[in-house]
Structure 1
Protein backbone atom coordinates (compact mmCIF):
# COMPACT_ATOMS: atom_id res chain seq x y z
CA UNK A 1 0.00 0.00 0.00
CA UNK A 2 1.57 3.24 -1.12
CA UNK A 3 0.24 6.70 -1.82
CA UNK A 4 1.80 9.51 -3.85
CA UNK A 5 1.69 12.77 -1.92
CA UNK A 6 1.01 15.91 -3.95
CA UNK A 7 1.52 19.17 -2.11
CA UNK A 8 3.33 22.49 -2.16
CA UNK A 9 7.03 22.57 -1.38
CA UNK A 10 8.09 24.04 1.96
CA UNK A 11 11.02 26.45 1.66
CA UNK A 12 13.08 27.77 4.54
CA UNK A 13 12.14 31.36 3.76
CA UNK A 14 8.46 30.60 4.40
CA UNK A 15 9.01 29.42 7.98
CA UNK A 16 8.37 31.38 11.16
CA UNK A 17 11.42 32.51 13.11
CA UNK A 18 10.74 30.06 15.93
CA UNK A 19 9.02 26.66 16.04
CA UNK A 20 5.99 27.53 18.17
CA UNK A 21 4.97 30.16 15.65
CA UNK A 22 5.34 27.65 12.82
CA UNK A 23 3.43 25.04 14.83
CA UNK A 24 0.57 27.52 15.32
CA UNK A 25 0.38 28.00 11.53
CA UNK A 26 0.31 24.28 10.77
CA UNK A 27 -2.07 23.53 13.62
CA UNK A 28 -4.48 26.11 12.18
CA UNK A 29 -4.09 24.54 8.72
CA UNK A 30 -4.94 21.10 10.15
CA UNK A 31 -8.00 22.47 11.94
CA UNK A 32 -9.15 24.34 8.82
CA UNK A 33 -8.77 21.11 6.81
CA UNK A 34 -11.06 19.34 9.30
CA UNK A 35 -8.38 16.87 10.37
CA UNK A 36 -10.01 14.73 13.07
CA UNK A 37 -8.73 15.87 16.47
CA UNK A 38 -5.70 17.83 15.23
CA UNK A 39 -4.60 18.12 18.86
CA UNK A 40 -4.19 14.33 19.13
CA UNK A 41 -0.52 13.44 19.56
CA UNK A 42 1.53 10.35 20.23
CA UNK A 43 3.57 10.76 23.42
CA UNK A 44 6.65 8.52 23.59
CA UNK A 45 8.45 8.02 26.91
CA UNK A 46 11.13 5.63 28.12
CA UNK A 47 12.38 4.14 31.34
CA UNK A 48 15.88 5.02 32.59
CA UNK A 49 16.95 1.68 31.06
CA UNK A 50 15.69 2.82 27.65
CA UNK A 51 12.54 0.68 27.34
CA UNK A 52 10.09 2.83 25.33
CA UNK A 53 6.31 3.14 25.42
CA UNK A 54 3.87 5.31 23.52
CA UNK A 55 0.22 6.32 23.60
CA UNK A 56 -2.11 8.94 22.11
CA UNK A 57 -3.16 11.88 24.26
CA UNK A 58 -4.72 15.26 23.55
CA UNK A 59 -2.72 18.48 23.50
CA UNK A 60 -4.58 21.00 25.64
CA UNK A 61 -2.37 24.09 25.52
CA UNK A 62 0.62 25.39 23.60
CA UNK A 63 2.50 28.67 23.71
CA UNK A 64 6.07 29.93 23.78
CA UNK A 65 6.70 27.84 26.91
CA UNK A 66 5.90 24.53 25.21
CA UNK A 67 3.19 21.86 24.82
CA UNK A 68 0.87 20.87 27.69
CA UNK A 69 -1.18 17.73 28.25
CA UNK A 70 -2.85 16.31 31.36
CA UNK A 71 -2.58 12.88 32.91
CA UNK A 72 -2.55 10.81 36.08
CA UNK A 73 0.97 11.21 37.46
CA UNK A 74 0.82 7.59 38.66
CA UNK A 75 0.16 6.31 35.12
CA UNK A 76 2.89 4.57 33.15
CA UNK A 77 3.80 7.74 31.26
CA UNK A 78 3.69 9.78 34.45
CA UNK A 79 6.05 7.40 36.24
CA UNK A 80 8.39 7.13 33.27
CA UNK A 81 8.58 10.91 32.89
CA UNK A 82 9.31 11.31 36.60
CA UNK A 83 12.27 8.94 36.21
CA UNK A 84 13.37 10.07 32.73
CA UNK A 85 12.07 13.48 31.58
CA UNK A 86 13.12 13.13 27.93
CA UNK A 87 10.06 12.81 25.70
CA UNK A 88 8.94 12.84 22.08
CA UNK A 89 5.63 14.05 20.63
CA UNK A 90 4.23 13.22 17.20
CA UNK A 91 1.30 14.99 15.53
CA UNK A 92 0.18 12.69 12.65
CA UNK A 93 -1.90 14.86 10.33
CA UNK A 94 -2.25 12.21 7.61
CA UNK A 95 -5.12 13.81 5.60
CA UNK A 96 -2.88 16.78 4.74
CA UNK A 97 0.32 14.69 4.46
CA UNK A 98 1.98 16.47 7.36
CA UNK A 99 3.62 15.50 10.61
CA UNK A 100 5.23 17.47 13.42
CA UNK A 101 7.80 15.69 15.60
CA UNK A 102 8.90 17.27 18.87
CA UNK A 103 11.70 16.22 21.20
CA UNK A 104 12.23 17.88 24.54
CA UNK A 105 12.05 17.70 28.30
CA UNK A 106 8.90 17.24 30.38
CA UNK A 107 8.04 18.69 33.79
CA UNK A 108 4.89 19.13 35.85
CA UNK A 109 3.02 22.42 35.66
CA UNK A 110 1.88 24.32 38.77
CA UNK A 111 -1.14 23.18 40.77
CA UNK A 112 -2.96 26.48 40.17
CA UNK A 113 -2.66 25.98 36.41
CA UNK A 114 -3.81 22.38 36.77
CA UNK A 115 -6.80 23.39 38.91
CA UNK A 116 -7.86 26.06 36.39
CA UNK A 117 -7.90 23.50 33.59
CA UNK A 118 -9.60 20.83 35.72
CA UNK A 119 -12.48 23.24 36.46
CA UNK A 120 -12.98 23.73 32.71
CA UNK A 121 -13.48 20.00 32.07
CA UNK A 122 -16.98 18.51 31.75
CA UNK A 123 -18.36 17.19 35.03
CA UNK A 124 -18.14 13.59 33.83
CA UNK A 125 -14.48 13.97 32.87
CA UNK A 126 -13.73 15.35 36.33
CA UNK A 127 -15.30 12.27 37.89
CA UNK A 128 -13.44 10.03 35.47
CA UNK A 129 -10.10 11.42 36.64
CA UNK A 130 -10.95 10.11 40.13
CA UNK A 131 -12.54 6.83 39.02
CA UNK A 132 -9.63 5.60 36.90
CA UNK A 133 -6.36 4.61 38.54
CA UNK A 134 -4.71 4.95 35.17
CA UNK A 135 -2.47 2.10 33.93
CA UNK A 136 -3.25 -0.17 36.90
CA UNK A 137 -4.81 -3.63 36.49
CA UNK A 138 -8.55 -3.74 37.17
CA UNK A 139 -10.69 -6.84 37.73
CA UNK A 140 -13.51 -5.89 35.38
CA UNK A 141 -15.33 -3.11 33.56
CA UNK A 142 -18.05 -3.41 36.19
CA UNK A 143 -15.59 -2.37 38.87
CA UNK A 144 -14.70 0.78 36.95
CA UNK A 145 -18.38 1.61 36.39
CA UNK A 146 -19.07 1.04 40.10
CA UNK A 147 -16.34 3.50 41.08
CA UNK A 148 -17.77 6.08 38.71
CA UNK A 149 -21.33 5.58 40.00
CA UNK A 150 -20.16 6.07 43.60
CA UNK A 151 -18.42 9.32 42.65
CA UNK A 152 -21.46 10.47 40.68
CA UNK A 153 -23.60 9.99 43.79
CA UNK A 154 -21.06 11.79 45.97
CA UNK A 155 -20.54 14.70 43.56
CA UNK A 156 -23.77 15.26 41.58
CA UNK A 157 -23.90 17.69 38.67
CA UNK A 158 -23.31 21.20 40.00
CA UNK A 159 -21.24 20.01 42.97
CA UNK A 160 -17.58 21.06 42.87
CA UNK A 161 -15.26 18.10 42.33
CA UNK A 162 -11.84 18.45 44.02
CA UNK A 163 -8.75 18.14 41.84
CA UNK A 164 -7.18 14.68 42.31
CA UNK A 165 -3.75 15.09 43.93
CA UNK A 166 -2.24 12.52 41.55
CA UNK A 167 -3.59 14.23 38.42
CA UNK A 168 -2.17 17.23 36.61
CA UNK A 169 -0.44 18.82 33.68
CA UNK A 170 2.83 18.03 31.95
CA UNK A 171 4.64 20.69 29.92
CA UNK A 172 7.06 19.58 27.21
CA UNK A 173 9.71 22.20 26.52
CA UNK A 174 11.11 21.49 23.03
CA UNK A 175 14.76 21.40 22.04
CA UNK A 176 13.99 20.29 18.46
CA UNK A 177 10.83 20.46 16.32
CA UNK A 178 10.62 18.86 12.87
CA UNK A 179 8.01 19.84 10.29
CA UNK A 180 7.43 17.04 7.75
CA UNK A 181 5.54 17.61 4.50
CA UNK A 182 4.93 14.64 2.20
CA UNK A 183 5.77 14.84 -1.51
CA UNK A 184 5.86 12.65 -4.60
CA UNK A 185 8.49 9.93 -4.99
CA UNK A 186 9.10 9.95 -1.22
CA UNK A 187 11.08 13.21 -1.60
CA UNK A 188 9.46 14.77 1.42
CA UNK A 189 10.34 18.11 2.99
CA UNK A 190 11.81 17.78 6.49
CA UNK A 191 12.64 21.10 8.15
CA UNK A 192 13.89 20.90 11.72
CA UNK A 193 14.32 23.68 14.27
CA UNK A 194 17.18 22.99 16.68
CA UNK A 195 17.84 25.01 19.84
CA UNK A 196 21.49 25.94 20.31
CA UNK A 197 22.73 28.37 22.97
CA UNK A 198 19.23 29.84 23.32
CA UNK A 199 18.77 30.44 19.59
CA UNK A 200 16.73 28.45 17.10
CA UNK A 201 18.30 27.46 13.80
CA UNK A 202 16.64 25.59 10.92
CA UNK A 203 18.18 22.65 9.09
CA UNK A 204 16.87 20.56 6.20
CA UNK A 205 16.97 16.77 6.50
CA UNK A 206 17.02 14.19 3.72
CA UNK A 207 13.74 12.26 3.52
Structure 2
Protein backbone atom coordinates (compact mmCIF):
# COMPACT_ATOMS: atom_id res chain seq x y z
CA UNK A 1 0.00 0.00 0.00
CA UNK A 2 2.65 2.49 1.05
CA UNK A 3 4.91 2.03 -2.00
CA UNK A 4 2.50 4.06 -4.13
CA UNK A 5 2.54 7.06 -1.76
CA UNK A 6 2.51 10.25 -3.86
CA UNK A 7 1.75 8.37 -7.10
CA UNK A 8 -0.97 9.87 -9.28
CA UNK A 9 -3.57 7.23 -10.05
CA UNK A 10 -7.29 6.71 -10.05
CA UNK A 11 -9.13 4.76 -7.38
CA UNK A 12 -9.78 2.05 -9.98
CA UNK A 13 -6.05 1.74 -10.70
CA UNK A 14 -5.35 1.63 -6.94
CA UNK A 15 -7.61 -1.39 -6.52
CA UNK A 16 -6.26 -3.07 -9.64
CA UNK A 17 -2.61 -2.70 -8.54
CA UNK A 18 -2.84 -3.25 -4.78
CA UNK A 19 -5.88 -5.56 -4.51
CA UNK A 20 -6.19 -7.30 -7.91
CA UNK A 21 -8.34 -10.15 -6.55
CA UNK A 22 -10.83 -7.65 -5.09
CA UNK A 23 -10.79 -5.50 -8.23
CA UNK A 24 -11.67 -8.53 -10.36
CA UNK A 25 -14.91 -8.90 -8.37
CA UNK A 26 -16.00 -5.25 -8.74
CA UNK A 27 -18.85 -4.65 -11.16
CA UNK A 28 -18.15 -2.79 -14.45
CA UNK A 29 -20.43 0.01 -13.26
CA UNK A 30 -18.39 0.59 -10.10
CA UNK A 31 -15.09 0.24 -11.98
CA UNK A 32 -16.23 3.06 -14.23
CA UNK A 33 -17.16 5.21 -11.24
CA UNK A 34 -13.84 4.57 -9.48
CA UNK A 35 -11.98 5.54 -12.67
CA UNK A 36 -13.33 9.07 -12.13
CA UNK A 37 -11.81 9.43 -8.66
CA UNK A 38 -8.20 10.32 -7.91
CA UNK A 39 -6.88 8.06 -5.18
CA UNK A 40 -5.63 10.08 -2.20
CA UNK A 41 -2.23 8.70 -1.25
CA UNK A 42 -1.41 11.21 1.46
CA UNK A 43 -1.00 8.75 4.33
CA UNK A 44 -0.78 11.52 6.91
CA UNK A 45 -4.18 11.03 8.51
CA UNK A 46 -7.79 11.98 8.23
CA UNK A 47 -8.83 14.88 10.44
CA UNK A 48 -7.69 13.64 13.86
CA UNK A 49 -9.22 14.75 17.13
CA UNK A 50 -7.74 13.79 20.48
CA UNK A 51 -10.52 12.39 22.66
CA UNK A 52 -8.29 11.25 25.49
CA UNK A 53 -8.95 7.56 24.88
CA UNK A 54 -7.59 6.45 21.52
CA UNK A 55 -8.28 8.77 18.61
CA UNK A 56 -11.12 9.80 16.37
CA UNK A 57 -11.23 10.20 12.61
CA UNK A 58 -13.55 12.46 10.68
CA UNK A 59 -13.75 12.04 6.92
CA UNK A 60 -13.30 15.42 5.23
CA UNK A 61 -14.99 16.26 1.93
CA UNK A 62 -12.18 15.33 -0.47
CA UNK A 63 -11.29 12.03 1.16
CA UNK A 64 -14.92 11.28 1.96
CA UNK A 65 -16.09 11.24 -1.65
CA UNK A 66 -13.50 8.65 -2.62
CA UNK A 67 -13.98 6.52 0.49
CA UNK A 68 -17.74 6.35 -0.02
CA UNK A 69 -17.21 5.33 -3.65
CA UNK A 70 -14.86 2.55 -2.52
CA UNK A 71 -17.36 1.41 0.13
CA UNK A 72 -20.12 1.27 -2.47
CA UNK A 73 -17.93 -0.69 -4.88
CA UNK A 74 -16.81 -3.46 -2.52
CA UNK A 75 -19.62 -3.55 0.05
CA UNK A 76 -21.41 -6.63 -1.32
CA UNK A 77 -18.29 -8.56 -2.38
CA UNK A 78 -17.10 -11.78 -0.76
CA UNK A 79 -13.92 -10.44 0.80
CA UNK A 80 -12.32 -10.55 4.24
CA UNK A 81 -12.86 -7.95 6.94
CA UNK A 82 -9.15 -7.13 6.65
CA UNK A 83 -9.39 -6.38 2.93
CA UNK A 84 -12.44 -4.18 3.47
CA UNK A 85 -10.80 -2.15 6.25
CA UNK A 86 -7.49 -1.78 4.41
CA UNK A 87 -9.21 -0.47 1.28
CA UNK A 88 -11.75 1.86 2.87
CA UNK A 89 -9.83 2.98 5.98
CA UNK A 90 -6.07 2.58 5.33
CA UNK A 91 -5.13 4.98 8.14
CA UNK A 92 -6.99 2.90 10.70
CA UNK A 93 -5.72 -0.35 9.20
CA UNK A 94 -2.07 0.72 9.36
CA UNK A 95 -2.57 1.93 12.93
CA UNK A 96 -3.69 -1.42 14.35
CA UNK A 97 -1.35 -4.20 15.46
CA UNK A 98 -0.06 -6.95 13.17
CA UNK A 99 -1.89 -9.48 15.34
CA UNK A 100 -5.21 -7.71 14.77
CA UNK A 101 -4.55 -7.49 11.02
CA UNK A 102 -4.01 -11.25 10.89
CA UNK A 103 -7.24 -11.80 12.78
CA UNK A 104 -9.18 -9.56 10.38
CA UNK A 105 -7.61 -11.26 7.35
CA UNK A 106 -9.18 -14.52 8.50
CA UNK A 107 -12.67 -13.10 8.95
CA UNK A 108 -15.04 -13.28 5.98
CA UNK A 109 -16.98 -10.05 5.89
CA UNK A 110 -20.71 -10.50 6.45
CA UNK A 111 -22.80 -9.17 3.59
CA UNK A 112 -25.61 -6.88 4.68
CA UNK A 113 -28.49 -5.95 2.45
CA UNK A 114 -30.42 -2.67 2.60
CA UNK A 115 -32.98 -4.13 5.00
CA UNK A 116 -30.53 -5.85 7.33
CA UNK A 117 -31.23 -3.53 10.25
CA UNK A 118 -29.00 -3.03 13.28
CA UNK A 119 -27.82 -6.16 15.04
CA UNK A 120 -28.98 -6.57 18.63
CA UNK A 121 -25.63 -7.67 20.09
CA UNK A 122 -22.07 -8.43 19.04
CA UNK A 123 -18.51 -8.65 20.35
CA UNK A 124 -15.41 -6.71 19.33
CA UNK A 125 -11.64 -6.67 19.96
CA UNK A 126 -9.25 -3.74 20.27
CA UNK A 127 -8.53 -2.08 16.92
CA UNK A 128 -11.40 -3.88 15.19
CA UNK A 129 -14.22 -2.03 13.42
CA UNK A 130 -17.66 -3.46 12.71
CA UNK A 131 -20.38 -2.06 10.45
CA UNK A 132 -24.15 -2.31 10.83
CA UNK A 133 -26.92 -0.77 8.76
CA UNK A 134 -30.42 0.47 9.42
CA UNK A 135 -33.03 1.28 6.79
CA UNK A 136 -34.87 4.50 7.69
CA UNK A 137 -38.21 5.20 6.05
CA UNK A 138 -39.76 8.54 5.17
CA UNK A 139 -41.13 10.95 7.79
CA UNK A 140 -38.70 9.92 10.56
CA UNK A 141 -37.69 13.15 12.31
CA UNK A 142 -35.48 11.70 15.07
CA UNK A 143 -32.97 8.85 14.86
CA UNK A 144 -31.65 7.66 18.23
CA UNK A 145 -28.50 5.56 18.55
CA UNK A 146 -27.64 3.78 21.80
CA UNK A 147 -24.35 1.86 22.11
CA UNK A 148 -24.02 -0.07 25.39
CA UNK A 149 -21.52 -2.42 27.01
CA UNK A 150 -20.65 -3.59 30.52
CA UNK A 151 -17.16 -3.56 31.99
CA UNK A 152 -15.97 -5.85 34.73
CA UNK A 153 -15.03 -4.27 38.06
CA UNK A 154 -11.31 -3.90 37.28
CA UNK A 155 -11.39 -3.17 33.52
CA UNK A 156 -12.30 0.02 31.67
CA UNK A 157 -13.00 -0.74 28.00
CA UNK A 158 -13.80 1.97 25.46
CA UNK A 159 -15.81 1.81 22.22
CA UNK A 160 -16.71 4.51 19.74
CA UNK A 161 -19.39 4.91 17.08
CA UNK A 162 -19.45 6.89 13.83
CA UNK A 163 -22.69 7.36 11.90
CA UNK A 164 -22.97 7.74 8.11
CA UNK A 165 -26.19 9.01 6.55
CA UNK A 166 -27.57 8.14 3.09
CA UNK A 167 -26.95 11.75 1.98
CA UNK A 168 -23.23 11.38 2.76
CA UNK A 169 -23.05 13.20 6.10
CA UNK A 170 -20.73 11.89 8.82
CA UNK A 171 -21.59 12.19 12.52
CA UNK A 172 -18.87 11.43 15.04
CA UNK A 173 -16.91 9.58 16.04
CA UNK A 174 -18.64 9.62 19.43
CA UNK A 175 -16.29 8.38 22.16
CA UNK A 176 -17.54 9.92 25.39
CA UNK A 177 -19.21 7.05 27.24
CA UNK A 178 -21.20 7.63 30.41
CA UNK A 179 -22.08 5.07 33.11
CA UNK A 180 -25.66 4.14 33.84
CA UNK A 181 -26.85 5.72 37.07
CA UNK A 182 -28.00 2.31 38.32
CA UNK A 183 -24.86 0.41 37.27
CA UNK A 184 -21.47 2.19 37.21
CA UNK A 185 -19.89 -0.67 35.25
CA UNK A 186 -22.40 -0.43 32.39
CA UNK A 187 -21.34 2.17 29.82
CA UNK A 188 -23.41 3.97 27.22
CA UNK A 189 -22.76 6.20 24.21
CA UNK A 190 -26.11 7.73 23.40
CA UNK A 191 -26.80 10.27 20.70
CA UNK A 192 -29.58 11.24 18.34
CA UNK A 193 -29.94 12.99 15.01
CA UNK A 194 -33.03 15.07 14.39
CA UNK A 195 -34.44 17.20 11.59
CA UNK A 196 -37.92 18.74 11.69
CA UNK A 197 -38.53 17.95 8.03
CA UNK A 198 -37.31 14.36 8.42
CA UNK A 199 -33.84 12.78 8.50
CA UNK A 200 -32.39 11.36 5.29
CA UNK A 201 -34.38 8.41 4.00
CA UNK A 202 -32.52 5.22 3.13
CA UNK A 203 -29.70 3.11 4.56
CA UNK A 204 -27.75 4.53 7.51
CA UNK A 205 -24.45 2.92 8.47
CA UNK A 206 -23.02 2.63 11.99
CA UNK A 207 -19.30 1.97 12.46
CA UNK A 208 -18.34 0.57 15.88
CA UNK A 209 -14.65 0.68 16.82
CA UNK A 210 -12.89 -1.10 19.67
CA UNK A 211 -10.75 1.78 20.93
CA UNK A 212 -9.24 0.25 24.06
CA UNK A 213 -10.29 -3.29 24.97
CA UNK A 214 -8.87 -6.07 27.13
CA UNK A 215 -9.68 -9.32 25.38
CA UNK A 216 -13.10 -9.22 23.73
CA UNK A 217 -15.98 -6.90 24.66
CA UNK A 218 -19.66 -7.72 24.16
CA UNK A 219 -21.96 -4.83 23.30
CA UNK A 220 -25.44 -4.00 22.07
CA UNK A 221 -26.72 -1.31 19.73
Task: Give the number of the structure whose alpha-carbon radius of gyration is greater.
Answer: 1
Give the TM-score taking structure 1 as reference length: 0.23
Give the TM-score taking structure 2 as reference length: 0.22
